[in-house]
């Protein structure tokens, strides 16, 4: 079975083809600048050089069409025909309260996503456009939606309700939803494997840190609380999002600068704040660190603000679940930024969180699960490369086979202690040849 995974953003379309029988990725890539001109695709096939293909994509329909053309092209392709694709799995950011697990897309499901557009105006519209484009080009294959919010549907009302007029919840379903759930589900299940424990007998604080950032409190293997809220704006400091702050300051500035609610919400708080807001020019943590080393005071401030907020959430969430078995770092920054991890964990020894500085510096790879805790640390500290695409593939395959259920009743392949990601293992072997010391940080599965 071959599954196409699609993740359509406002101006991009990420994709991946997964051969379920061989358990391998056969192609992946991203179409950039969709809808805004000068579109191009970065296309990757294992064992070949990455290719950049320029092609105008005024809508997501053209982007999906370009992806399919590349997958079957004589020069770049991996398929003889589009008919080799057995199913399409779509990432959908917001599933509201209706969906606690992935679903096969039909007219009713798609209409529900459209009804939820006001809850995620920056995310659901392009997700829907991608679904409709793929359905129009591949009408005879099943399409499946995997929602970022589904993992967090185990939260209870004291965790997801806001202290605002209750009528807002009744009329508009205003509550905490949480995001990055697909990634957080993956690392929670893998953390249980690395701990050698039942997945529903672990307490965790998981930190998904990329351009967007989520903290997740996991209690007895279930999402108990999370930092992102009604929208992905709430919570930790992010690349361009403000995160937690006093909402009164927004109104204060709006009045004095004559800024509209739409400009404040969609543009300033989501796209011009966070690290960019503090530094005035940087969103990439590598740029922030480089500027710090050159004496940039605002870059140093941004680094310290971000790390301090992470420290606060670690402490708050560990208290909320009554103590944790492991602290988990994941996503681009969480997996690669040793300086951020070190600063955020500074002074947490009183909580039993003690990291090994050498192992922390060595744990900078997306091909290896790392254990960076000291031998006497009461809390394990893992760096787990996430794999959202594998979740989408497995949910899609299971739905088609009639074996799928909510994660409390469903077991993923990567929950097996003997699970191997062969492609990551191959890449890791190459990395270890160049830097054998990395093996010191490699996490071990108990009993393996």
Residues 103-114 have a mean pLDDT of 92
Pairing relation of β-strands 2-8 and 12-19? antiparallel
- 67-95: per-residue pLDDT in tens? 999 999 999 999 999 999 999 999 998 88
Look at residue 139 and give its three-state secondary structure.
coil
Q: Evaluate whether 180 touches 214 at the Cβ level (below 8 Å).
A: yes
Residue 119's pLDDT band, with cuts at 50, 70 and 90, is confident
What pLDDT does residue 213 have? 95
Q: At which residue do the structure tokens 């004559």 appear?
A: 258
Cβ contacts of residue 380 below 8 Å, gap of 6+?
A: 191, 194, 195, 325, 326, 327, 371, 373
Q: pLDDT, tens digit, for every residue of 10-24?
A: 778 899 999 999 999
Q: What is the pLDDT of residues 352-366, one digit of tens each?
A: 999 999 999 999 999
In the sheet with 2-8, reading across from the earlier edge strand, the strands are 51-54, 40-44, 24-32, 12-19, 2-8, 87-92, 143-147, 103-104
pLDDT at 162: 98
Specify the pairing of strand 204-209 against strand 326-330.
parallel
pLDDT digits (tens, 9 = 90+) for 288-327: 999 999 999 999 999 999 999 999 999 999 999 999 999 9
Say what the pLDDT of residue 47 is.
Answer: 86
Helix axes 338-345, 297-320, angle to 10 degrees: 60
Whether the CB-CB separation of 142 and 2 falls below 8 Å is answered with: no
Which position has the token pair 């999906």? 64
Query: Boundaries of CATH 3.30.420.40 in the chain?
Result: 2-147, 195-383
Q: Dihedral angle at the C-alpha atoms of 284, 93, 334, 161, nearest 10 degrees?
A: 110
E-strand ranges in 260-372 read 326-330, 370-371
- Which of 19, 148, 225, 246 is catalytic? The answer is 148
- pTM for this prediction: 0.94
Q: How does 84-115 read in b/e, with b if 16+ C-beta sit within 10 Å?
A: ebebbbbbbbbbbebbbbbbebeeebbebbee
Cα–Cα distance between 161 and 166 in angstroms, integer?
9
At 131, which helix (H) or strand (E)? helix 124-137
Q: What is the helix (H) or strand (E) element at residue 87, kind and residue range?
A: strand 87-92
- Cα 271 from Cα 281, distance rounded (Å): 12
Q: Are 257 and 267 contacting, i.e. CB atoms less than 8 angstroms apart?
A: no
Domain 2-147 -> CATH class: alpha beta
Per DSSP, the three-state class of 350 is helix
CA distances from 25 to 2, 54, 386, 393, 441 (A): 10, 23, 15, 11, 26
pLDDT for res 297: 97
With CA atoms as reference, report the closest residue to 60 among 84, 85, 32, 82: 32
Per-residue pLDDT, 9: 78
Degrees, nearest 5: CA angle 394-142-14: 65
148 flagged as catalytic: yes
CATH number of 195-383: 3.30.420.40
Q: Confidence band (pLDDT; 50, 70, 90) for 328?
A: very high
| Contact between residue 1 and residue 20 where contact means Cβ atoms under 8 Å apart | yes
């Amino acid at each position: 079975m071959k599954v196409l995974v699609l993740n359509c953003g406002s101006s991009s379309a990420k994709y991946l083809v997964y051969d379920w029988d061989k358990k391998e990725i056969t192609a992946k890539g991203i179409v950039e600048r969709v809808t805004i001109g000068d579109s191009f695709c970065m296309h990757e096939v294992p064992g070949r050089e990455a290719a950049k293909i320029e092609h105008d994509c005024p809508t997501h329909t053209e982007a999906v069409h370009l992806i399919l053309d590349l997958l079957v092209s004589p020069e770049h392709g991996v398929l003889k025909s589009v008919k080799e694709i057995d199913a399409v799995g779509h990432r959908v950011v917001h599933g509201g309260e209706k969906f606690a697990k992935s679903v096969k897309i039909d007219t009713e499901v798609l209409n529900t996503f459209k009804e939820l557009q006001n809850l995620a105006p920056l995310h659901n519209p392009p997700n829907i456009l991608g679904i409709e484009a793929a359905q129009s080009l591949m009408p005879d294959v099943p399409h499946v939606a995997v929602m970022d919010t589904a993992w967090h549907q185990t939260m209870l009302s004291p965790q997801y309700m806001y202290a605002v007029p209750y009528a807002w919840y009744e009329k508009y379903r205003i509550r905490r939803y949480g995001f990055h759930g697909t990634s957080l589900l993956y690392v929670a299940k893998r953390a249980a494997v690395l701990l050698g424990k039942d997945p529903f007998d672990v307490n965790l604080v998981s930190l998904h840190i990329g351009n967007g950032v989520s903290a997740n409190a996991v209690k007895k293997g279930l999402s108990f609380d999370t930092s992102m809220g009604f929208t992905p704006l709430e919570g930790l400091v992010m690349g361009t999002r403000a995160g937690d702050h006093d909402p009164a300051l927004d109104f204060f500035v709006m009045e004095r600068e004559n800024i509209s609610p739409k400009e404040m919400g969609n543009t300033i708080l989501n796209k011009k704040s966070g690290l960019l807001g503090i530094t005035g020019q940087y969103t990439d943590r590598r740029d922030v660190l480089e500027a710090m080393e050159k004496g940039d005071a605002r870059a140093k401030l941004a680094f310290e603000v971000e790390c301090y907020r992470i420290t606060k959430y670690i402490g708050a969430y560990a208290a909320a679940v009554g103590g944790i078995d492991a602290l988990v770092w994941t996503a681009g920054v969480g997996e690669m930024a040793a300086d951020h991890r070190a600063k955020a964990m500074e002074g947490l020894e009183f909580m039993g969180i003690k990291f090994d500085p050498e192992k922390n510096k060595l744990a900078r790879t997306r091909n290896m699960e790392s254990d960076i805790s000291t031998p006497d640390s009461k809390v394990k500290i893992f760096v787990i490369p996430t794999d959202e695409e594998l979740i989408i593939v497995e949910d899609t395959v299971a739905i088609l086979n009639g074996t799928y259920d909510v994660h409390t009743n469903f077991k993923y392949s990567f929950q097996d202690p003997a699970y191997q990601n062969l492609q990551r293992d191959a890449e890791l072997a190459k990395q270890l040849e160049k830097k054998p010391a990395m093996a010191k940080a490699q996490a071990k599965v108990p009993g393996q």
